[in-house]
């Protein structure tokens, strides 16, 4: 995939280079929904709706080619309201081989938490949602309003 252009770009408007997801495919601009592609709902965390973002079911791992030209990845991390108060995940950003930011464990009973990661110089950036240390039950992990800023 080509690296993003200059300025700020929604990650859901880019092609990823690789993606894994626990249940069905990663969804663009909706929640994970069920196993089928395209069956998600508007991304919503504690009643707050987001028009853009990536909807996953943790464990999930999404890689983008940034070609050393990007500086910052930002998103609102949260468990989607489609699983009610259930679920838990940690939302991580990896720049090449190293983890550069993470949200800490968030549950379905918590509001979204902003994550800002410096990814300067990275050739590849990955958004990773872990199971939060317990299991993957109801872990509908949203990277809401996820953007990358590049030069
Ligand atoms: Ca789906
Ligand atoms: Ca979990």
Domain ranges across the chain: 7-150
Per-residue confidence (pLDDT) for residue 1, from 0 to 100: 62
Distance 14 CA to ligand 1 centre (A): 18
* pLDDT per residue as tens digits for the range 90-124: 999 999 999 999 999 999 999 999 999 999 999 99
Query: Which of 85, 95, 30 is CA-nearest to residue 56?
Result: 30
Distance 40 CA to ligand 1 centre (A): 5
Per-residue confidence (pLDDT) for residue 126, from 0 to 100: 98
Burial track 96-105 (b if 16+ CB lie within 10 A, e otherwise): eeeebbbbee
Distance 131 CA to ligand 2 centre (A): 4
Per-residue confidence (pLDDT) for residue 12, from 0 to 100: 98
pLDDT for residue 66 is more than 80: yes
* pLDDT per residue as tens digits for the range 23-57: 999 999 999 999 999 999 999 999 999 999 999 99
- The fold adopted by the segment(s) 7-150 is Jelly Rolls (2.60.120)
pLDDT, averaged across the chain: 97
CA 25 from chain center: how many Å? 13
Structure tokens at 68: 């050393």
């Amino acid at each position: 995939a080509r690296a993003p252009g200059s300025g700020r770009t929604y990650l859901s408007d880019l092609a990823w280079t690789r993606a894994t997801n626990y249940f069905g495919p990663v969804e663009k601009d909706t929640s994970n929904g069920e196993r089928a592609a395209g069956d998600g709902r508007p991304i919503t965390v504690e009643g707050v709706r987001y028009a853009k973002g990536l909807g996953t079911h943790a464990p999930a791992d999404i890689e983008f080619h940034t070609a050393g030209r990007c500086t910052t990845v930002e998103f609102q991390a949260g468990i989607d309201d489609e699983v009610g108060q259930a679920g838990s995940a940690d939302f991580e950003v990896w720049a090449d081989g190293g983890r550069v930011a993470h949200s800490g464990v968030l549950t379905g009973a918590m509001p979204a938490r902003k994550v800002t990661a410096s990814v300067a110089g990275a050739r590849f950036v990955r958004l990773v949602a872990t199971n939060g240390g317990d299991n993957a039950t109801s872990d509908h992990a949203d990277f809401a309003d996820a953007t990358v800023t590049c030069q």
